[in-house]
Structure 1
């Protein structure tokens, strides 16, 4: 729990502080006087004031931060000081300052994705399992062992890249063209998807369409001394490709086949140094916990998915980083639109509890997964803040658009009513998010 809380606090602190830095940087470039920039909230632990008069503070609650500008010039202020007030700036300058926060989050996401592309990540290869009959993949002719190399003409190196390219069409419906390596030949497969339900705890829509990773072939990880496996000649590193009538068995199927052959010879074929070797193994009969007799051969099995290192050069990394960010923004907006029209359940709205849970999970997986999580949440913060809801950055931009059309500032009464509406909408959204969070937590 402590690990999850720490991972969540770091994520929120970094992303919100970067958001506020966007506001700060553009405000200073526009000549606005910034009174305070705080990293964290609550009691100030340390502070210093720079030569421009900005107080930099480190506060006790490390869940983000804030920037405080001089909105109105104090009474009797000199013309020079009055010109540093936010509300005395031009419409274009005020809009740029407000827009800078969400844009900072989107730029941060693009930089994080770029970094992952440059450094490289280890991901499962896009080698598919045999799809179930009547699924979309089966109807398109997908076979076991097919390896996806491109989606709609876009080359992919890994299962993660293939999933990302397919995610929109799988959930919203439509067609997707897959280029696959099948039995040494390159083939095209056209998949036609119907719009599918998207539920946070529902089945994987990719798996429902028949697109799933092939189970990895079991490999001998260790051979126990004086075991049936050692007597038959099994060695560490042998990849088991068949056992009796089972061809390319998964680990569970292999164990079950061995257990059924207690005291009986079982032909096991393995790949060893690129050569196929067939051995006769006689599992030793042992008593199972339920009192039955099962066979054991005394070896430890491992079953790792084939992995590939996904890495790109500088130019491609930057291009892919910004493209991935733009695609994520567009996908997020489409999902929001489908929620509004009722095509997608509101149960997909997540709040701080779910975000904290994912922060902890990705941090435990590794640094690359955690950075990918930061990029995704940074996009979410940017998109959320651009929604035209009063009290959010997007709400202020909406006011400025109305001001540009009217040719004069919005009346104070409109602003007050807008604040009440915005507060109500945000309260409803947060209530829904917390309800969904705790429903998942206790269900």
Structure 2
């Protein structure tokens, strides 16, 4: 059920994103020929008011198509309702609407979380440190640590709870490059003994794992109708800033952070795990993935909304449309890049699933 919930959320976020483009176009009277979830061959379709609504075979996103790009369309090229014949501001709104829809959805989800789950009232820490993520090929993964493990002792000494325990463990790891550390972790209620050897990076130990306090967040009812909105504004700003900062760090320090990039398989795994923790976690998961989808699509890369916005900006600076050959080459290169990257991430994430790792170890 957790996997189905995560898949449903991802599908819903894609629908919302494409609905943003679709509604921005139809609201302005711009002709639309198709609304597709996925790419490739059509599995299911329905035609309504001249628009083909389709579910396609490759579930790696979606798109809204326009008659401008249809080779066999009977609509004259000078039709004022074609997207290419509309003023730049109207076309810019259609392009930006997908990102805006995902950001609006994330904010609404956070408002709903504050309304129905409650306002955060403090973190209730319990002993141990939670391993929230592990990078493949790094010392933590090689030692056998897995996401979801709770480290309960280091070198025979129990770890206290809260941020102090995380700081203590991180400090010991950083001070022990190349040295063997004995850990005891709890996995599915059973103790697991591990031997971890931090890698030496400039004299500092690194293990390739994300650590956080172990425990649960306490919530209280909102005090008045405006408090959920204020809390949602705070949470939204924080998540958006951290997400944008994460993408910036990836671009500026690609070699150091590329291993932390996750694809759809890892996202579904994380969502399934959160689904088992209750509805409150799913609210945050939905908002976080929606914001990530918005920021990702805003990047100035071919095929993404940001890339199309760049083409529109160049057209505005030139005062006339860019050569069709250039636009086609730009979009095709983006398609090859994004599909290739998605496949690489799917293979990488699938190979890191515990069940697959156990199978490969046989």
- TM bucket, shorter chain: 0.5 to 0.7
Per-residue CA distance 1:2-29 (angstroms, 9 max, x = gap): x344223311221111111101111012
Runs (5+) with no aligned partner, structure 1: 133-143, 148-162, 164-195, 214-304
* Distance change >3 Å, CA 356–CA 128, structure 1 → 2: closer
User: Where in structure 2 are the equivalents of 1:137-286 lying within 5 Å?
Assistant: 202-204=209-211, 206=212
Whole-Å Cα distance in 2 between the matches of residues 145 and 345 of structure 1?
28
- The alignment of Structure 1 onto Structure 2 pairs a total of residues equal to 282
Find the residue that maps to 2:253 and give its secondary structure: coil
* Distance change >3 Å, CA 347–CA 367, structure 1 → 2: same
Q: CA RMSD in A?
A: 3.8
Question: 1:17 matched to which residue of 2?
Answer: 15
Question: 1:219 matched to which residue of 2?
Answer: none
Question: 1:126 matched to which residue of 2?
Answer: 123
Task: Tell me by how many angstroms 1:423 deviates.
Answer: 3.2
Task: Tell me by how many angstroms 1:197 deviates.
Answer: 9.6
Answering whether residue 93 of structure 2 is matched by residue 99 of structure 1, we say no
Question: 1:109 matched to which residue of 2?
Answer: 106
Whole-Å Cα distance in 2 between the matches of residues 126 and 363 of structure 1?
19
Q: Is the 8 A contact 1:40 1:66 kept in 2?
A: yes
Task: Tell me by how many angstroms 1:367 deviates.
Answer: 2.1
Find the residue that maps to 1:380 and give its secondary structure: helix
Question: 1:77 matched to which residue of 2?
Answer: 76
User: Where in structure 2 are the equivalents of 1:395-406 lying within 5 Å?
Assistant: 395-406=307-318
Question: 2:237 matched to which residue of 1?
Answer: 326
Find the residue that maps to 1:47 and give its secondary structure: strand
Task: Tell me by how many angstroms 1:43 deviates.
Answer: 4.7
Q: For 1:55, which of 48, 51, 56 is the aligned residue?
A: 51
* Distance change >3 Å, CA 38–CA 414, structure 1 → 2: closer
Task: Tell me by how many angstroms 1:62 deviates.
Answer: 10
Task: Tell me by how many angstroms 1:380 deviates.
Answer: 1.1
* Distance change >3 Å, CA 413–CA 403, structure 1 → 2: same
Per-residue CA distance 1:34-54 (angstroms, 9 max, x = gap): 2233567765656352xxx24
Q: Is the 8 A contact 1:127 1:145 kept in 2?
A: no
Answering whether residue 338 of structure 2 is matched by residue 394 of structure 1, we say no
Question: 1:377 matched to which residue of 2?
Answer: 289
Task: Tell me by how many angstroms 1:111 deviates.
Answer: 0.3
Question: 1:285 matched to which residue of 2?
Answer: none
Find the residue that maps to 1:314 and give its secondary structure: coil
Task: Name the structure, 1 or 2, with higher relative contact order (CA <8 Å, separation 6+).
Answer: 2
Q: Is the 8 A contact 2:99 2:294 kept in 1?
A: yes
Whole-Å Cα distance in 2 between the matches of residues 419 and 66 of structure 1?
13
Q: Is the 8 A contact 1:123 1:308 kept in 2?
A: yes
Task: Tell me by how many angstroms 1:31 deviates.
Answer: 1.6
Question: 1:26 matched to which residue of 2?
Answer: 24
Question: 2:264 matched to which residue of 1?
Answer: 352
Answering whether residue 247 of structure 2 is matched by residue 336 of structure 1, we say yes
Task: Tell me by how many angstroms 1:437 deviates.
Answer: 0.9
Whole-Å Cα distance in 1 between the matches of residues 7 and 339 of structure 2?
22
Runs (5+) with no aligned partner, structure 2: 130-159, 167-203, 358-362
Q: Is the 8 A contact 2:119 2:220 kept in 1?
A: yes
TM-score (norm 2): 0.65
Whole-Å Cα distance in 1 between the matches of residues 206 and 116 of structure 2?
33
Task: Tell me by how many angstroms 1:116 deviates.
Answer: 0.4
Task: Tell me by how many angstroms 1:66 deviates.
Answer: 4.1
* Distance change >3 Å, CA 129–CA 17, structure 1 → 2: closer
Query: Which moved further from structure 2: 60-69 or 90-99?
Result: 60-69
